[in-house]
Structure 1
């Protein structure tokens, strides 16, 4: 062949069958993000495997294992393959052969995990052995009582001095309160006997200390005390309760809050700011009296609401305890909503870990949110007959107590 002929041959087009690339395996390009084929190794030997797309859906464990092994992965002894995610893609874009037009075809995208065939906690033995070993473990020595503060909280709620009901009048109320104070002495002794004796005491008056005359019409005909006598009785009961605590503890804190029966009223309308309340006034009187005798009562302090507030909060053993009467919401079930609203309003009880309330004359406790506790205290009054007639429910009287320590609350009782 001459040089011209060779040049001419080079310029001739190559036949089509010679220009085609060899046929290739079916390709599935442009996979969704996160579904690229591959393996991710996790601590402890577990592997997360994203397999190439397949035409058929995953079947049983044998099929899962086969698809993983097709990727060249060896499954160790004692491990299993488990399907964790399967996604059907009805319009996956791909071409069967190089040079073909792109088409869509449904495929399955699957992700598997290669993990130990048995849970890790079974590696120490079977279930029976685990239970046996746990129950026969040597108990850790009981921690000795340290110097951390443990506080006793006494919730005095809804005595409503002057009210007459099914359980009597003022003589029965005084006898009931005196009996509960004796049980309080026993409770303090019991706590010490079991190594949980409190080092500080909190007197939490949650309101409605007096019955009043302006809340309902019947009060003018059923009460057995005048308003000043009601206030006087409540003051003397509070003196007695605080005296008992002051004689037993090196530090005592007395707190109260505003309430509906205690509120100073003209008719049914409240008079003055929220602190215009007979319960708050009585606590102020006692604070004045104690201030006159620092030798006997210098270790007793007082907490009352700010002028335009009707709730208080106390830091008790490192935990915030809020005190409110409970008349701020229409029924007990709304306590949580009201409390959450106080958080938005940055009110005194907003940051409370424990909220103690009264008003609804029966005991109730409920955990809320992340570790918060709402406690509704029972009443000390002579009974709410109007409510019993309407609902058939009868509240049981009692004095609520609980303790607060470094680990939170405990020893909740109704005396």
Structure 2
């Protein structure tokens, strides 16, 4: 038979004795949306197959394979068929033969995945070989010189000068801070010894630098300094801390933020704008003093909140670091909600990669969102006995430090 005759025969309707009404003539209603028969090809060679409806439920892997192959699909070597979804449709109708009335008969609609029988990485060898080869790989040599900026961040938080508690008063506070500054010197030497020496330093004062007299009534009976003495102690401690950094680094940045104990008050009520804060005033005094000696301190700069803001953000080694005291929310668990709200409000910390806060007198670090980090700094004060009485918790004092470099943060410690 010629090619033309073959084509003509295919176009002519089949004779009655050649037809199979139970198979060829059977008709099903249109499939529900999303269940149309077909194949979707995924990256890596995986196929998602939606099979035509069937009267019987899927019976096992051999049956799954048969149903997929009935669609004309060949299962590649090294691949398997897996049932991922089966739906029973009791309201489906059939037309069993040409011209016959439709009848309702339940059907099963199934979806399969044709996927590699083993993970792709298994083709390189078994698990033992995989682990052995990975552990025995040759380490790439470290660059001899690292010219990228690495910044040391020193977080001075909640010293509350003038406060008396279980750990003493002003003499104990000053001795504690001096000892932490000595540990800071050691930490800087340790970083240099392991090849991660910082090239710049950031002094982050997280607020509550003084105890003040207007927050609670007991302060008038428990503090061991007058208001001006508190400010004087904090100013001299700040000078000492910054002088140590200024003598070791070619670039130093000092920043602070508004806080509840530092806020200027009349009674318990805050007066003036948020910038009316003793911590901000002390850093301003230090900035004025350093400006008188450009030769010694020209490489030290200062960052303070705008008049109507309580927080600041800084570019630290190409990462944005935000600084806020933390009294803006009632519990530390609310820090994430507050930070997200700052983003909507386009506040200074909105775009921060790292947010540093104080106020809650304990250390906590938590990853948030897509690669953001919140750090709750520990306190340097003489103890929060009222909180211990209420909760049984005792905060451990410390000076928090971390490094920030091109690849993010590391070397976080509490000194």
Q: Secondary structure at the match of 1:167?
A: coil
Partner of 1:235: 235
8 Å Cα contact 1:30/1:93 also seen in 2: no
Partner of 2:266: 266
Q: Rate the CA distance shift 1:64–1:399 in 2: closer, same or farther, 3 A.
A: same
Structure 1: unaligned runs, 5 residues or longer: 1-17
Q: Is residue 284 from structure 1 mapped to residue 284 from structure 2 by the alignment?
A: yes
Q: RMSD value over aligned CA atoms?
A: 1.8
Q: Secondary structure at the match of 2:105?
A: strand
Q: Distance in 1 between matches of 2:403 and 2:29?
A: 67
Partner of 1:301: 301
Q: Secondary structure at the match of 1:327?
A: coil
Q: How does 1:314-325 map to 2 (within 5 A)?
A: 314-325=314-325
- Per-residue deviation, 1:347: 0.9
Q: Distance in 1 between matches of 2:284 and 2:393?
A: 36
Q: Distance in 2 between matches of 1:42 and 1:308?
A: 54
Q: Distance in 2 between matches of 1:379 and 1:39?
A: 61
- Per-residue deviation, 1:43: 5.1
Q: Distance in 2 between matches of 1:200 and 1:42?
A: 49
Q: Secondary structure at the match of 2:338?
A: helix
Q: Rate the CA distance shift 1:38–1:270 in 2: closer, same or farther, 3 A.
A: closer
8 Å Cα contact 2:273/2:307 also seen in 1: yes
Partner of 1:401: 401
8 Å Cα contact 1:343/1:351 also seen in 2: yes
- Per-residue deviation, 1:386: 1.6
Q: Is residue 37 from structure 1 mapped to residue 30 from structure 2 by the alignment?
A: no
Deviates more, 1:215-224 or 1:76-85: 76-85
Q: How does 1:63-78 map to 2 (within 5 A)?
A: 63-78=63-78
Per-residue CA deviations over 1:96-154 (Å, capped at 9, x if unaligned) read 11112233321112222333322211111111111111111121222444221110000
Partner of 1:7: none
- Per-residue deviation, 1:22: 8.2
8 Å Cα contact 1:79/1:115 also seen in 2: yes
Q: Distance in 2 between matches of 1:112 and 1:385?
A: 63
Structure 2: unaligned runs, 5 residues or longer: 1-15
Partner of 1:376: 376
Partner of 2:132: 132
8 Å Cα contact 2:25/2:98 also seen in 1: no
Q: Rate the CA distance shift 1:77–1:278 in 2: closer, same or farther, 3 A.
A: closer
Partner of 1:179: 179
Q: Secondary structure at the match of 2:286?
A: helix
Q: Secondary structure at the match of 2:104?
A: strand
Q: Secondary structure at the match of 1:91?
A: coil
Partner of 2:148: 148
Name the count of aligned residue pairs.
Answer: 396
Partner of 2:198: 198
Q: Rate the CA distance shift 1:208–1:47 in 2: closer, same or farther, 3 A.
A: closer
Q: Distance in 2 between matches of 1:43 and 1:226?
A: 71
Q: Secondary structure at the match of 2:93?
A: strand
- Per-residue deviation, 1:45: 4.3
8 Å Cα contact 1:273/1:307 also seen in 2: yes
Q: Secondary structure at the match of 2:387?
A: helix
Q: Distance in 1 between matches of 2:43 and 2:346?
A: 45
Q: Secondary structure at the match of 1:343?
A: helix
Per-residue CA deviations over 1:348-376 (Å, capped at 9, x if unaligned) read 11111111111111111111111111111
- Per-residue deviation, 1:29: 4.3
Per-residue CA deviations over 1:286-321 (Å, capped at 9, x if unaligned) read 111111111111100000000001111111011111
Q: Distance in 1 between matches of 2:377 and 2:44?
A: 51
Deviates more, 1:137-146 or 1:265-274: 137-146
Deviates more, 1:44-53 or 1:324-333: 44-53
Q: Rate the CA distance shift 1:209–1:47 in 2: closer, same or farther, 3 A.
A: closer
- Per-residue deviation, 1:72: 3.5
Per-residue CA deviations over 1:8-27 (Å, capped at 9, x if unaligned) read xxxxxxxxxx9xx9845322
Q: How does 1:149-164 map to 2 (within 5 A)?
A: 149-164=149-164
Q: Rate the CA distance shift 1:171–1:134 in 2: closer, same or farther, 3 A.
A: same
Q: Distance in 2 between matches of 1:147 and 1:319?
A: 17
Partner of 2:256: 256
- Per-residue deviation, 1:84: 2.3
Q: Secondary structure at the match of 2:403?
A: strand
Partner of 1:3: none
The TM-score, its normalising length taken from structure 2, stands at 0.91
Q: Rate the CA distance shift 1:43–1:230 in 2: closer, same or farther, 3 A.
A: closer
- Per-residue deviation, 1:76: 3.5
Q: How does 1:57-136 map to 2 (within 5 A)?
A: 57-136=57-136
8 Å Cα contact 2:78/2:117 also seen in 1: yes
Per-residue CA deviations over 1:27-54 (Å, capped at 9, x if unaligned) read 2242334434344455554443332211
Q: Secondary structure at the match of 2:253?
A: strand
Q: Distance in 2 between matches of 1:123 and 1:63?
A: 27
Q: Rate the CA distance shift 1:399–1:47 in 2: closer, same or farther, 3 A.
A: closer
